[in-house]
């Protein structure tokens, strides 16, 4: 299978001495390290098609200096895109889709101006914590439909564990809202924003209609556990939010610890716990998944856009 690649518009190359030594995709920065020379030699021949003959992922393997392997490796990282739609190994497509989905989500946050702590005020921050609570607390609304899919015992067990973890996390975030000085009555009386309810409904329907897309959307919105740079970045962001002194630090600590718990539980790897039925994924299915992910991120964007309008809690 001959594949042709091009550079992704979601990534910014990092240059040094006329070589690409890595790239930044917003949510993470990748440095090529000892593979710089091999990668740059391959990128000079990017128009030469790669022959892909198996469905084995290259991302977590020992690095091979072969032209084809390097191109697929860079595709899986999200640095490259396909020039034209073609059948792809599922494992490679899966890695690429998570990388690009997270990059698109980061770009959406930047567009909404909510990617950095200085853009926050007390009302926006408090309401964003409310919406986080509602999203986590409503997990049963989309996980229960997901359990109706044709899944193995191991896959069903994983979903059941995930549901229990989210139920506990919902209680934990309730405790965080109380730490922020919000009364029990206020929490019970404050429902999710209409845009948040739209997002929850979308996931609930998706879990019934397209489990593969559903599992990818969940992974994209969860914190990735295999990206140390991302984790350090998020910890710095939490520290900047705490330093703004908009709400009690103990309240923010609860929500930060929830994110740390998600990392420990590997929630960013959600979709990796399910087996795709075919070794390869065809262009039409790829297009359908990509359309769904764009819609999912757009719905998240609508929530953040509405949050900026909040003037009181």
Which residue, 59, 84, 109, sits at the end of a domain?
Answer: 84
Q: Is residue 313 situated within a structural domain?
A: no
Q: Is residue 151 situated within a structural domain?
A: yes
Q: Is residue 312 situated within a structural domain?
A: no
* Cβ atoms of 11 and 43 closer than 8 Å: no
Which residue, 84, 103, 127, sits at the end of a domain?
Answer: 84
User: Can you tell me the distance from the alpha carbon of 239 to that of 252, in angstroms, rounded to the nearest whole number?
Assistant: 9
* Cβ atoms of 50 and 80 closer than 8 Å: no
Q: Which domain holds residue 208?
A: 89-307
pTM value is 0.90
What pLDDT score does 61 carry? 45
Same domain assignment for residues 65 and 94: no
Which residue, 67, 84, 101, sits at the end of a domain?
Answer: 84
Same domain assignment for residues 78 and 118: no
Same domain assignment for residues 103 and 201: yes
* Cβ atoms of 119 and 308 closer than 8 Å: no
Extract the runs of DSSP E, i.e. beta strands, from the chain. 2-3, 5-7, 12-16, 19-24, 29-31, 50-51, 80-82, 88-89, 280-281
User: Can you tell me the distance from the alpha carbon of 191 to that of 198, in angstroms, rounded to the nearest whole number?
Assistant: 13
Mean pLDDT of 207-213: 97
Q: Is residue 271 situated within a structural domain?
A: yes
According to DSSP, the β-strands at 88-89 and 50-51 are unpaired
Helix (H/G/I), strand (E/B), else coil: 296: helix
Same domain assignment for residues 216 and 248: yes
Same domain assignment for residues 136 and 14: no
User: Can you tell me the distance from the alpha carbon of 313 to that of 310, in angstroms, rounded to the nearest whole number?
Assistant: 8
Same domain assignment for residues 180 and 59: no
pLDDT in tens, 15-70: 999 999 999 999 999 999 989 999 999 998 887 766 665 545 554 444 444 888 89
Q: What is the domain-level CATH number for residue 139?
A: 1.20.910.10
Instruction: Tell me the two tokens of residue 281.
Output: 């994924």
Q: Is residue 265 situated within a structural domain?
A: yes
Q: Is residue 182 situated within a structural domain?
A: yes
Q: Is residue 97 situated within a structural domain?
A: yes
Q: For the chain, how far is it from start to end, CA to CA, in angstroms? A: 56
The CA–CA distances, whole Å, from 291 to 71, 294, 298 equal 24, 5, 11
* Cβ atoms of 127 and 310 closer than 8 Å: yes
Same domain assignment for residues 121 and 34: no
Helix (H/G/I), strand (E/B), else coil: 23: strand
Same domain assignment for residues 301 and 166: yes
Same domain assignment for residues 94 and 74: no
Same domain assignment for residues 121 and 63: no
Helix (H/G/I), strand (E/B), else coil: 2: strand
User: Which of 109-113, 248-252, 286-290 shows the lowest per-residue confidence on average (mean pLDDT)?
Assistant: 109-113
Tell me the percentage of the chain whose pLDDT exceeds 90.
69
User: Can you tell me the distance from the alpha carbon of 294 to that of 290, in angstroms, rounded to the nearest whole number?
Assistant: 6
Same domain assignment for residues 171 and 302: yes
Count how many domains the chain has.
2
Mean pLDDT of 195-222: 97
Q: Is residue 210 situated within a structural domain?
A: yes
**Given the structure tokens 């860079």, which residue do they identify?**
74
Cα 76 to chain centroid distance, Å, stands at 15
pLDDT in tens, 217-256: 999 999 887 776 777 888 888 888 899 899 999 999 999 9
* Cβ atoms of 230 and 309 closer than 8 Å: no
Quickly list DSSP for 67-85: HHHHHHHHHHTTSEEESS-
Same domain assignment for residues 46 and 74: yes
What pLDDT score does 118 carry? 56
């Amino acid at each position: 299978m001959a594949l042709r690649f091009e550079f992704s518009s979601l990534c910014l190359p990092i240059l040094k001495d006329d070589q690409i030594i890595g790239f930044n995709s917003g949510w993470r920065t990748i440095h090529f390290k000892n593979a710089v020379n091999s990668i740059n030699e391959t990128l000079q021949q990017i128009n030469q098609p790669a022959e892909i003959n198996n469905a084995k992922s290259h991302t977590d393997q020992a690095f091979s200096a072969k032209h084809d392997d390097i191109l697929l490796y860079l595709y899986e990282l999200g640095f490259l895109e396909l020039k034209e739609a073609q059948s792809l190994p599922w494992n490679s497509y899966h890695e690429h889709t998570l990388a690009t989905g997270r990059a698109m989500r980061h770009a959406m946050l930047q567009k909404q101006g909510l990617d950095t702590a200085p853009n926050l005020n007390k009302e926006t921050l408090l309401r964003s914590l409310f919406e986080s609570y509602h999203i986590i607390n409503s997990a049963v609304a989309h996980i229960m439909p997901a359990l109706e899919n044709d899944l193995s015992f191991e896959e069903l067990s994983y979903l059941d564990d995930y549901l229990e973890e989210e139920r506990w996390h919902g209680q934990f975030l309730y405790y965080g809202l109380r730490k922020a000085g919000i009364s029990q009555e206020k929490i019970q009386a404050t429902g999710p924003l209409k845009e948040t309810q739209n997002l929850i409904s979308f996931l609930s329907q998706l879990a019934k209609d397209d489990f593969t897309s559903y599992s990818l959307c969940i992974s994209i919105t969860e914190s990735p556990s295999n990206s140390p740079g991302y984790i350090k970045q998020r910890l710095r962001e939490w520290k900047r939010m705490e330093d703004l002194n908009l709400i009690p630090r103990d309240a923010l600590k609860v929500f930060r610890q929830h994110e740390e718990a998600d990392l420990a539980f590997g929630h960013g790897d959600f979709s990796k716990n399910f087996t795709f039925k075919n070794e390869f994924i065809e262009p039409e299915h790829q297009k359908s998944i990509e359309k769904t992910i764009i819609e999912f991120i757009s719905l998240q964007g609508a929530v953040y856009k509405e949050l900026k309008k909040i003037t009181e809690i």
